[in-house]
Amino acid sequence: MLHIHGVKKGFHVGGSHIPILDIPQWKVSRGEKLAIIGPSGSGKSTLLHVISGILRADQGEVQIDGQQLHRMTESARDGFRASRIGYILQDFHLIPSLTARQNVEIVMPGKMGSAERRDRVDSWFERARLGDRSRHLPSQLSRGQQQRVAIIRALINEPPLVLADEPTGSLDWETADEVTGLLLELCRGEQHTLIVVTHDLNMADRFPKRVHISEINAIDGVKRLAGAGKERAI
Ligand code: ADP
Ligand code: MG
């Protein structure tokens, strides 16, 4: 499903180049549910940005279902991302002036009929145990409920690849556990590949497969930061 080959990514900061990712080879199979753990600054978000094509790798290849996002035109890439990748972020990113269901409807294909659209949204809100909250504004929902709306928005178009960046990072322990359970439940089965990056070890423990970012990435972000500290001290 996902194949990364020879990918390098760094950032230019103040005239110097800081390497962040160096991934010789990494594959994720269809239907895998994978938690990538690693400390803050180790390149987890950068990795998801490179996978989704939001950021371009400096070199190497990223293939999703045999397709290379960076060989596409910008509009083809946007279309591919909208239909094939669901993205869940730590801070939900719901539009405050829209109701929960309107926040979901804006990512649905415009050509879908209104009855089909309504039924599909209703059934997903039921599955996420939010059936009675779909006409509420984000401000009228708890943080856990807001994240459940963001999960529905990521899954409504049934994307084969779901990426989540610290989805429980701003939730208390109990709510985090509930959201993790829901995400795994809704992504069950072969048709969804789920990659979560997190430093929440409780969340990672619920995943059938866990990998530390240092097993994928040859650059140790923590050492790099420690090194930068030393340089400053000198
Ligand atoms: P994580 O998600 O694991 O906390 P990130 O991928 O966000 O780590 O960041 C990895 C490193 O890359 C950090 O040291 C961060 O400061 C740096 N970084 C991330 N984005 C940029 C950017 N746009 N410009 C410069 N440095 C960046
Ligand atoms: Mg991050």
Tens-digit pLDDT profile for residues 3-48: 999 999 999 988 898 999 999 999 999 999 999 999 888 999 999 9
Give the residue among 215, 136, 202, 141 at the shortest CA–CA distance from 168: 202
Helix or strand holding residue 162 (H, E): strand 161-165
Q: Which atom of ligand 1 is nearest to the CA of 49?
A: 6
Question: pLDDT, tens digit, for every residue of 161-176?
Answer: 999 999 999 999 999 9
User: What is the identity of the amino acid at 155?
Assistant: L
Instruction: Give the torsion sign (CA, 86, 92, 97, 101).
Output: positive
Q: Extract the tokens encoding 100.
A: 């929960």
Give helix then strand counts, H and E, for the chain: 9, 9
Testing ligand 1's pocket by substitution, the residue of 13, 22, 40, 46 carrying the most ligand atoms inside 8 A of its CB is: 46
Indicate which ligand has the atom closest to the C-alpha of 213. 1
SS3 94: coil
CB 34 within 8 A of CB 210: yes
Indicate which ligand has the atom closest to the C-alpha of 90. 2
CB 174 within 8 A of CB 200: no
b/e sequence 175-204, b meaning 16+ C-beta within 10 Å: bbbbbbebbbebbeeeebbbbbbbbbeebb
Question: pLDDT, tens digit, for every residue of 208-226?
Answer: 999 999 999 998 876 666 6
41 lines ligand 1 (CB under 6 A): yes
What distances in angstroms separate CA 42 from CA 58, 66, 140, 182, 217, one per listed residue?
17, 27, 35, 27, 9
SS3 24: strand
Mean pLDDT of 148-156: 96
Q: Which atom of ligand 1 is nearest to the CA of 166?
A: 2
